[in-house]
Amino acid sequence: MKILSTDQIRALDTWTIAHEPIDSIDLMERAARTFTSWFTAHYPRRDIAVCIFCGPGNNGGDGLAVARLLAQDSYQVHVWLCRIGRRTSPEFDINLSRLRKMNTVPIHELTQGDALPRLPTPTYVIDALLGSGLSRPVTGYWATLLQHLNAHSAAIRVAIDIPSGLFAERPTEGTTFHAHRTLSFEVPKLAFFFSENYRAVGEWEVRSIGLDKAKLAELSTPWHCLTLSKVAQWLRPRHKFDHKGTFGHALIMAGSKGMMGAAVLSTQAALRSGAGLVTAYIPECGYSIMQMRAPEAMALTDPSITHLSTLPQNLDKFSAIGIGPGLGRQAPTLSLLEQLLSTYQGPIVIDADALNLIATHPHLFDRIPPNAILTPHPKEFARLFGESPHTFARLDRQMQLSKEKCIFIVLKGAHTCITTPKGTAFFNTTGNVGMATGGSGDVLTGLIAGLLAQGYSPSRAACLGVWLHGLAGELASSKWGAEAMTATDLIAHIGQAFQKLHKTKVNA
């Protein structure tokens, strides 16, 4: 799914109106019906008051249409017209006239300086104040109103399209509406994917309002949101006479004394990825551990008892390599990493301590082979590339580095972002907070390495691995709950995650 700028969305609206063709007021009605259908599904109780705050523009027009539709569906609707500025949009005026003709919905007016409204308890508060056309931070009286709505402890707050006060493509200053849920029309907003905006956006969903699909397909954007249907298309078929050699040989270089669990998790995930063969290259202290915990994997041991120090022979026999989980930062391990990056040009995933070694020895960065996949978490990203003033700047930096260095960067988080050498960013939407536990990243490294070994391109291996990893987290959470989840639970649910993708692909 594409993530468009507000200017592109506005242009797509205009194109749809001109070429469907459809009147602007009828397109607004379609959006209002879409929101109302979604709202009634989530909030079916009609004995709770619905308080809708409408600004003077088209977002306010949406709110007025929603007020009419909810009132027709027996909700107890109250509307506040917020006189922000002197002009109202034509669509706002039409919907206000329609609402008044019903003569069943109380309509209040708020102008700057008025006493703040007293809201029922409990109540649904729907934000239709400002929308995506915001040009400056919300301050003064209207900021005070938003703070008043946010402070209502018995309110369930819902935003139409985007929370008021939130900028879609740049850092937000000033006050924002704090929605528990946001319904975005047609496509998500870029700001939804960043942690600092979660308090404003809450849980978000997207619904189509029937904007022109052909025109949408033509629009160019560097930002994309991974979807189940798209990821499922990337699954490679398996055939009756395939064998283990068909699906590649993954090498996991990981572990050190006291950190063998990371090597085990990464190896087990590679085994669950579908790779035909998996070899773990580990220090001698981990041999018995690996053989007992991952008997399907082959184990090669380094001459060192406690850490990796020497490259294994015949690296060319491996289809892909994953390096870093639990690796440690000893001097011999640094030498091994330097040799690997200088000699190996095949598919590779670089994670954890391998990234930390590169961060403290910057000359290694220039030795990373083209199309390598780096999987840092935010702190590792900062160690590698420096601090960013805000997440929009960090995204720009991530995209720039992927292009300049011809590498894939998987920046892990609630919406893991994968950037490519082509200048594209993919945001993930699977996963949950239960995955915030030690070892989750090690699982991802093994999973991506195993997909690379099977011949998936780095782009698809990274995106598919991240999606499966998050989906396995969702499945594990449904069984264990977020608090009790461990990284091992992720591995146990990778198979079910694959099954869901296969089912989606078959039914597409």
Residue tagged 């079916």 (tokens): 44
Domains annotated for the chain, with CATH where assigned, are 6-221 (3.40.50.10260), 230-234+245-507 (3.40.1190.20)
| pLDDT value of position 28 | 98
**DSSP string spanning 146-196?**
HHHHHT-TTEEEEEESS-TT--SSS---B-----SEEEEESS--GGGGSGG
Question: In angstroms, rounded to a whole number, what is the distance separating the alpha carbons of residues 83 and 91?
Answer: 15
Query: Over the chain, what is the mean pLDDT?
Result: 97
pTM of the predicted model, to two decimals? 0.96
Reported as half-sphere exposure (CB side, CA atoms, 13 A), residue 60 has a value of 25
Pairwise CA distance, residues 172 & 165, whole Å = 7
Q: Report CA-CA distances (Å) from 49 to 14, 102, 154, 156.
A: 35, 18, 11, 11
State the DSSP string of 402-419.
HHHHT-EEEE-STT-EEE
Strand partners, 373: 349, 408
* pLDDT tens digit sequence for 331-386: 999 999 999 999 999 999 999 999 999 999 999 999 999 999 999 999 999 999 99
Per-block average pLDDT, block size 10, for the chain (508 residues)? 97 97 98 98 97 97 98 98 92 98 96 95 97 92 98 96 97 97 98 97 98 97 96 95 97 98 98 98 97 97 97 95 97 97 96 98 96 98 96 98 98 98 98 97 98 98 98 97 97 98 88
For residue 85, the model assigns a pLDDT of 82
Tens digits of per-residue pLDDT, 66-93? 999 999 999 999 999 999 987 999 999 9
Distance CA 126, CA 91 (A): 19
pLDDT at 506: 84
The SS3 call for residue 205 is strand
Beta-carbon contacts of 281 under 8 Å, excluding residues fewer than 6 positions away, are 251, 252, 253, 254, 300, 301, 302, 308, 312
